[in-house]
Structure 1
Amino acid sequence: MKLVALLVASTFLVRSMTHELPQSSQAPKAGIEKTVFGKLPDGREADLFTMTNAAGMVVKITNYGGYIVSITTPDKAGKQEDVTLGVPTFADYAKGTPSLGPIIGRYGNRIANGRFTLDGQEYTLAQNNNGNHIHGGPTGFDKRIWTAKAIDGKEPAVQLSYLSKDGEEGYPGNLSVTVTYTLQKDNALRIDYKATTDKATVFNPTNHAYFNLSGLKQDVMNHELMVAADKVLATDPKQIPTGELLSVAGTPFDFRKPTTIGTRINDTTNTQIRYGKGYDHCWVFTDQSKKLKLGATVYEPTSGRLMEVFTTEPAVQVYTANNLNGNLKNKEGIPLSRRFGVCLETQHFPDSPNHANFPSTVLRPNETFQSTTIYKFSVK
């Protein structure tokens, strides 16, 4: 009887100990979950895809505009926090945002006067930014419902597809686009872009996520930025490239070594800083190859979070949220104020269709556009 009692007591103790193990000791289950995010006024539903990897990183993507709704990663103490700017509900996204994480297209950044000529024909686009065209127009990729396919597994992914019809927002050609978000096991979010067209067109997609590695506790002025670029595009007062590539040496744009973003951002003796109200410029990578390379890093010393940006693109637009004004709030009620995030929009050069000396953004029939960008998170 004593032996039986001892076995029963041992079993109870083991069960109690198992029940009391902290949740953090349980390995998260990698996978993807699909839920309804909301409805547009016309009744069409948008979905939300929640991807989790075995390390516990969580990324939420919606097929409305391909928005990155949130990225949750640990700080150096292991605390999981969101590191991107967003708004509370689907209705808030549907109202329109200052590009808080969507797919941008057909053309990321600006095209002068909303016009370009291709194969002898002039095309006219919407002038939705100081007389110029920006981010694909008023109804760009960020306002479309994409067809979504969830890919479950150890590295969950969501594949978004969209057919941009000939003439949409003034662009030529039926453009078939696929964007795949993959949450990798090494805490990296990989974005693969692929596109084909039946008529010559221009194409320059990107993602416009705003990052704040503090866990949204303060602005990004203490973040340390490195950009592997020795040149930056000069712009006119309306932020259209002049065609000149400026050396970053000796200027507020020199981030070849990690430098705190806030150190020189208000140097209004620099004409380019005045034009951008801070940083809103296209850095030209020293490595202009199409291979996947390290283009930039961002480090936040208090949290210890490090983000590395790898890309096949020739440039990155660094934007320090100079125009956010606090009118919008995120789901925690935090105002999204000026310089509360930093965008690293990997891309080809703005206004390339109007500059023969810039890398071409022309896509022709029987060609396939392919591009990859990876945002990898760690701590140090």
Structure 2
Amino acid sequence: MTRDTLPGTLPDGHSVQRITLDNGTLRVAVLDFGAALYDVRHASHPDLPLVLSPSRADAYDGPFLNFGTIMGPVANRIRGAEAEIDGQTYGFDANQAGRHSLHSGAAGVNRKIWTIDNTTPDSVTLSIDLPDGEGGYPGNRRITSTYRLDGDTLVHDQTAATDHTTLMNLAHHGYWTMQPPTGWGGQELTIGADHYTPTDADVIPTGEIASVENTPFDFRQPVTLQPAKLPNIDHNFCLNGDGPALRLSSPATGLALEITTDAPGLQIFGFHAFETDPSIETLHGHPYARHAALAIEPQRWPDAPGRPDWPDITLRPGETFSQTARYQITTDG
């Protein structure tokens, strides 16, 4: 384990601490900013970062706020930027089109410096305390995020607790690719989900739980990705829970990522809505064009409040929110 400072500073002048874990198979870097998973590399391809990130701290503004960081306290979207909690209506930051709340808006933990609580040769644990009422969410809350290396697997544990009934839905927002990020086309994708949640024009779930059969979202068997056939994916998959959540592999490199998680959902975003500023340096040495990589986000389902038949994101005093994802990276050569 090594600890250093990322080049540059955040727009507000803060420095960013970087913790690097290396067990000879995986080398992983984690930041105290947003508890970000900043860099992931496999020993077979030491010069190929498998996640997208800027090379400097001063780039963490705009879209880069979502690159590898933790989304919370409530990831994804809440329709109308309000929800009822124990009979009381709470309003949140309407940062999407002035109507809906996305990733908790300005109160999002992806925008904050976390505390580095503990490090070992193979792990790092970070935490953050959120005050009652911040962003409209009730409760004094503590969130922890632990990254740990286990052979060829990165284990990510997240927990949260509160002193007042609140909402909690944490998600790691990593942009993953098993090949150089000139486009995710040609990679093979498998998702362990028989159903997904269709969305409306605002990318808010309609409330339907639809079968993936005979849709572009059927990845129950490996599918070779083509952006032209999946131009605007930004959907939640309802995981079956009886096997791997996802497998992403590249015939070009022989690398494969397999994710298992106890989260009930997995958001896939195809990086179709923007591209990065050519003036901003990245880990890959070039700007990221549309469809550069896939955001893969283990999560509870989006817009869950008010939907009693969906996985509940209510967190009460005395309870512990807990979510684990395992990212196994293997290679054929």
TM-score range, shorter chain: over 0.9
TM-score by length of 2: 0.93
The answer to whether residue 18 in structure 2 is matched with residue 48 in structure 1 is: yes
Letter in 1 for 2:20: T
Cα distance in 2, alignment partners of residues 221 and 211 from structure 1: 13
The answer to whether residue 240 in structure 2 is matched with residue 286 in structure 1 is: yes
Residues 1:149 and 1:307: Cα distance change in structure 2 (over 3 Å): same
Cα distance in 2, alignment partners of residues 223 and 282 from structure 1: 20
In structure 2, the partner of 1:97 is 64
Contact 2:300/2:311, CA 8 A, preserved across alignment = yes
Letter in 1 for 2:4: T
Pairs aligned (count) = 328
In structure 2, the partner of 1:321 is 271
- Report the alpha carbon displacement of residue 151 of structure 1 after superposing the two structures with TM: 2.1
In the alignment, structure 1 segments of 5+ residues that lack a partner are: 1-31, 268-272
Cα distance in 1, alignment partners of residues 63 and 107 from structure 2: 10
In structure 2, the partner of 1:165 is 131
Q: Deviations 1:57-106 (Å, cap 9, x if unpaired)? A: 2111110111111111144xx55421111112011125661511101101
The answer to whether residue 158 in structure 2 is matched with residue 190 in structure 1 is: no
In structure 2, the partner of 1:108 is 75
Query: Which of 198, 212, 220 is residue 177 of structure 2 equivalent to?
Result: 212
- Report the alpha carbon displacement of residue 40 of structure 1 after superposing the two structures with TM: 4.2
Cα distance in 2, alignment partners of residues 82 and 43 from structure 1: 27
Matches within 5 A, 1:246-261: 246-261=210-225
The answer to whether residue 290 in structure 2 is matched with residue 338 in structure 1 is: yes
Cα distance in 2, alignment partners of residues 35 and 95 from structure 1: 24
Residues 1:302 and 1:46: Cα distance change in structure 2 (over 3 Å): same
In structure 1, the partner of 2:309 is 357
Greater mean alpha carbon deviation, residues 94-103 or residues 59-68: 94-103
Query: Which of 178, 193, 203 is residue 144 of structure 2 equivalent to?
Result: 178
- Report the alpha carbon displacement of residue 294 of structure 1 after superposing the two structures with TM: 1.4
Cα distance in 1, alignment partners of residues 219 and 12 from structure 2: 46
- Report the alpha carbon displacement of residue 42 of structure 1 after superposing the two structures with TM: 5.4
Cα distance in 1, alignment partners of residues 269 and 143 from structure 2: 25
Cα distance in 2, alignment partners of residues 44 and 334 from structure 1: 25
- Report the alpha carbon displacement of residue 45 of structure 1 after superposing the two structures with TM: 3.5
Cα distance in 2, alignment partners of residues 151 and 98 from structure 1: 24
Cα distance in 2, alignment partners of residues 232 and 42 from structure 1: 39
In structure 1, the partner of 2:258 is 308
Contact 1:64/1:144, CA 8 A, preserved across alignment = yes
Letter in 2 for 1:168: E
Point out the structure with max Rg over C-alpha.
1
Cα distance in 2, alignment partners of residues 364 and 282 from structure 1: 25
Cα distance in 1, alignment partners of residues 296 and 185 from structure 2: 15
The answer to whether residue 199 in structure 2 is matched with residue 235 in structure 1 is: yes
- Secondary structure at the aligned position of 2:106 is classed as coil
Contact 1:65/1:145, CA 8 A, preserved across alignment = yes
In structure 2, the partner of 1:135 is 103
Cα distance in 1, alignment partners of residues 11 and 274 from structure 2: 27
Residues 1:243 and 1:94: Cα distance change in structure 2 (over 3 Å): closer
Contact 2:11/2:60, CA 8 A, preserved across alignment = no
Letter in 2 for 1:63: D
Q: Deviations 1:251-293 (Å, cap 9, x if unpaired)? A: 111000010121xx545xxxxx7xxx52110010122x7xxx4
- Report the alpha carbon displacement of residue 212 of structure 1 after superposing the two structures with TM: 1.5
Cα distance in 1, alignment partners of residues 253 and 65 from structure 2: 26
